[in-house]
Amino acid sequence: MLEEKVEVKTPEYVSLKFEAAGLGSRAAALIIDQTILFGVSLLLLALTFLGIWGFDMYLDLAFVSPYLLFGLLIVLFILNWGYFVVLEYFWTGKTIGKKILGIHVMQDNGHRVTLLSSVIRNLLRLIDSLPTSYVLGMILVYAHPKHKRLGDIVAGTIVVHERRAKKTRMSRHDKEIRRRNLKIDDVTIEEWELKQLGEKEWTLLKGYAERFTNLPLSKRNELTKKLVEILFPKVGLSKEKKTYEQLENMLLVIYLKLREDWEYEL
């Protein structure tokens, strides 16, 4: 089935267009994720029973404590369910399979998927997988106009293809970033810390990046200092023993990190 364009209305009344991920790409991503989980689950089972036999190599499986087996089942459930929840929330809507296929989950309003939404959509995998092999989920994804399974409908999420910001002539601040040879990985910020920066912080950073090269040095340093005091505590960065140029570089790298999520092709 061909992928279809969907329009998303943000709370800021901005209209964004995405390409909804259809049955083919979603199924391929799920196969990759399930293969990874199967391998990890198999390894966990092997290590568990090897550990048991390590205490008594003649132990019959019939005498293994039912509590141990029940606990192992719980661990396997948490692993198989938590894999999707943790990666989707901390990796901007992506699992390993979704990353490889170039798709990700987001809210219907265009924002990052929330922890609650991820929990809901993945709990409902139990229903989407009925009666077997995700038959119900596949039928819904195929039939729904936005290719949603039950989990997406209830959680208010949608799976879309990745896209980049619209290519335009290189701006002055992009040239400055290139001149300084700054890369997105130059500053290490945990994903959960980056989530502390919302639309307000993005607007401040974008304005800073677009203006700072045109400002007199004194004004530029003043603006850099103010932004550092606002943003650094939220992402666990220190300004101690840093020159103004180093602080500028760190702010520009944070700008690059946020731009991947906030600057859309409109």
Question: Which pLDDT band holds residue 65 (cuts at 50, 70, 90)?
Answer: low
- Would you state the pLDDT for residue 51? 65
CA R_g for the chain: 23
Question: Which pLDDT band holds residue 214 (cuts at 50, 70, 90)?
Answer: confident
Please list, in sequence order, all residues whose beta carbon lies within 8 angstroms of the beta carbon of residue 120, skipping any fewer than 6 positions away. Answer: 151, 154, 155
Read off the pLDDT of each residue in 138-159 and give the average, rounded to a whole number.
92
- Would you state the pLDDT for residue 19? 85
Report the C-alpha gap between 163 and 185 in whole angstroms: 20
- Would you state the pLDDT for residue 150? 94
Q: At residue 1, does pLDDT exceed 50?
A: no
DSSP H or E stretch at residue 245: helix 244-262
Percent of the chain with pLDDT over 70: 83
pLDDT digits (tens, 9 = 90+) for 71-89: 788 888 889 889 999 999 9
Average confidence score pLDDT of the chain: 83
Report the C-alpha gap between 183 and 178 in whole angstroms: 9
- Would you state the pLDDT for residue 139? 92
- Would you state the pLDDT for residue 250? 94
Report the C-alpha gap between 162 and 153 in whole angstroms: 20
Q: At residue 14, does pLDDT exceed 70?
A: no
Q: At residue 2, does pLDDT exceed 70?
A: no
Sign of CA dihedral 84, 85, 87, 89: positive
Q: Do residues 257 and 242 touch, judged by C-beta distance below 8 A?
A: no
- Would you state the pLDDT for residue 265? 39
- Would you state the pLDDT for residue 155? 93
Tokens of 12: 């800021």
Please list, in sequence order, all residues whose beta carbon lies within 8 angstroms of the beta carbon of residue 160, skipping any fewer than 6 positions away. Answer: 6, 18, 19, 20, 21, 103, 104, 106
Read off the pLDDT of each residue in 183-202 and give the average, rounded to a whole number.
85
Which has more confidence, 59 or 108? 108
- Would you state the pLDDT for residue 110? 79
Taking the CA atoms of residue 219, residue 220, residue 223 and residue 225 in that order, the dihedral angle to the nearest 10 degrees is -110
